[in-house]
Amino acid sequence: MPQLTLDQGTVHYRDTGEGEPVLLLHGYLMDGRLWDPVTDRLARDFRCIVPDLPLGSHRNPLNPDADLSLPGIARLVADLIAGLGLRQVTLVGNDFGTAVAQIVAARHPERIGRLVLTGGECFDNCPPAWFRALVPAARVPGLLTLALQFLRLRASRRLPCAYGLLTKGALPHDLIDDWTGAFFGDPGVRRDCAKVTRGFGPAVLLDAANGLASFDRPALIAFAREDRLFPFAHGERLAAILPAARLEPVPDSRTWVMRDQPDLTTRLIADFIRSTPAGEAPTDITTATAT
């Protein structure tokens, strides 16, 4: 698995396919394999780069002094894009990766050609209500680790405060075993995760939303209507803010659109890339209203 050493530490990433670059960001207590059902399909026509972000399931801790606030993680992504020499990249976010992608677009747009936001944190929904107790827990040494012990049990992962609201389908327990194993297996990874968790809060994303009004590159908003964590109405608000956005509702899905609807998600991203030159606003911005 390739890796790149940045000022913040070493980041591992997956790199498959050839063609225009697409960089996909995952959520909290996950790694880049979440996107496999889509990247397996997209890599037939595009270069797919999927980093393992330092969100609690990465394999190597970052430097102890690494900035893992939301803006700090956005800077890490921007540095990764620059370090890989990518230009006009299509940046895709999901879950907490959507929060990061918004800040990258608002603060570091220079190498971003297109933006794709699927269900995830935005505006004042950071984190969603089911996960807000993790923020104070992360401020007490050892308490976040104690609070997440229940994730070791497969039967508990369907709870709303775990992975249960993210998908309509079966949970990928083998992946989750790896994700939780990375968290519980390394004190440096747990330290990184606690730093990230302490940085949750709406202020930065509300500020990013204002900054998105100046992001004039093409944007695709693909939120699921049945998402119980990230309301479709927030996708509509994002589409209204971004100057060159199109909105596509994803049916029969929750947050993990790449798992619940891999074919549709792949098609939406691929068609968006093919129909919209990077860095240019689409000439016909449409808002989908299908249910």
| Exposed/middle/buried for residue 279 (C-beta within 10 Å: 0-12, 13-18, 19+) | middle
- pTM for the full model? 0.95
- pLDDT tens by residue, 126-163: 999 999 999 999 999 999 999 999 999 999 999 999 99
Task: Name the architecture of domain 3-275.
Answer: 3-Layer(aba) Sandwich (3.40)
Alpha helices in the chain (DSSP H): 36-42, 70-83, 96-107, 134-138, 143-147, 173-185, 187-198, 202-212, 232-241, 257-260, 262-275
Distance, in Å, from the CA atom of 71 to the CA atom of 63, rounded to the nearest integer, reads 16
- pLDDT tens by residue, 28-64: 999 999 999 999 999 999 999 999 999 999 999 999 9
**β-strand pairing of 47-51 with 21-25:** parallel
- pLDDT tens by residue, 208-227: 999 999 999 999 999 999 99
If we measure between CA atoms, which residue out of 23, 145, 18 comes closest to residue 74? 23
Distance, in Å, from the CA atom of 99 to the CA atom of 117, rounded to the nearest integer, reads 9
**In the chain, where the domains are located:** 3-275
If we measure between CA atoms, which residue out of 273, 219, 222, 218 comes closest to residue 21? 273
